Amino acid sequence: MASAIDTQKEIQKLSIDGGSHIDTSIDELDDDEIIEGINFVNYRDESQIESVMRLVGRDLSEPYSVFTYRYFLHRFPQLCIFAVPSEDKSENVEPIGCVVCKIDPEDNDDVATINEAGGGSSSTPPDVEKEARLCGYIGMLAVDTSYRRSGIGFALVKRAVRRMKDLGCSSVILETEVSNKAAMKLYEERFGFMREEFLSRYYLNNGDAYRLRLWLK
Ligand SMILES: CC(C)(COP(=O)(O)OP(=O)(O)OC[C@H]1O[C@@H](n2cnc3c(N)ncnc32)[C@H](O)[C@@H]1OP(=O)(O)O)[C@@H](O)C(=O)NCCC(=O)NCCS
């Protein structure tokens, strides 16, 4: 069983070496991850932060500071994936979709509390309880309005979840606004994320949220 300190060291290592041991060019893809006319590419460098901010910022109910973006992108560059139109061959091609994630140590208290309260515990494998584990976190996901409903959001999340699993995560969590029907359907119906917690007035606009979790086998 990994200790919390081991887990922290592991995360530090992942963020320092950028997960470079993962050869993202050989991600094994399912058919539903291949979208005609769209390429999926990895975050490259700081010059792309503005693109991410533009894309993600349009739909946010509260703005993130540039430091938040930097935190995610600098520490976990391998967990920022862009969707770009394949006909655009320029080096600074503007992404039309992106997913941005990170990895944290599992919050064991949360898991224990959920299990004791009986909420959402049916999906919690017993061997995960009270063990120091890595937990993936989807921080940002956005697809440009004119490219929506063609499978890009799904393909981005699927790639990100696979990478977090490859990096040793036992689950992936995220928060989404209760009123965000598109995101709720995407995560719950297409991926099987479970509602773990209701977060009353979680956002600055007073919007309620759910914390959703997907256990990875
Ligand atoms: C959520 C979002 C990323 C989905 O991107 P997308 O590329 O349009 O999604 P996909 O085409 O891959 O759809 C995948 C699934 O999501 C759900 N979905 C997506 N858009 C939907 C909509 N408008 N209404 C209902 N369900 C929707 C469906 O379950 C869909 O599967 P289906 O096509 O088999 O029905 C996109 O709507 C978006 O950028 N929204 C604004 C930002 C946002 O809300 N991000 C999530 C924050 S947690």
The per-residue pLDDT for range 43-60, each reduced to its tens digit, is 999 999 999 999 999 988
In order of their start, the domains of the chain are: 4-19+29-215 (3.40.630.30)
Taking the centre of ligand 1 as the mean of its atom positions, its distance from the CA of residue 151, in whole angstroms, is 8
pLDDT at 8: 57
Nearest CA to ligand 1 atom 8: 148
More confident residue, 130 or 27: 27
pLDDT at 121: 43
Query: Token pair for residue 42?
Result: 């990895």
pLDDT at 18: 46
Of 185, 199, 202, 213, the residue with max ligand 1 atoms within 8 A of its CB, to mutate for a pocket test, comes to 185
CB 194 within 8 A of CB 120: yes
> Region 96-123: what's the mean pLDDT?
65
190 lines ligand 1 (CB under 6 A): yes
Nearest CA to ligand 1 atom 42: 142
For residue 60, the ligand 1 atom closest to its alpha carbon is 42
pLDDT at 60: 83
For residue 176, the ligand 1 atom closest to its alpha carbon is 48
Is 50 exceeded by the pLDDT of residue 171?
yes
Is 80 exceeded by the pLDDT of residue 16?
no
Which amino acid is located at 95 in the chain? P
CB 148 within 8 A of CB 173: no
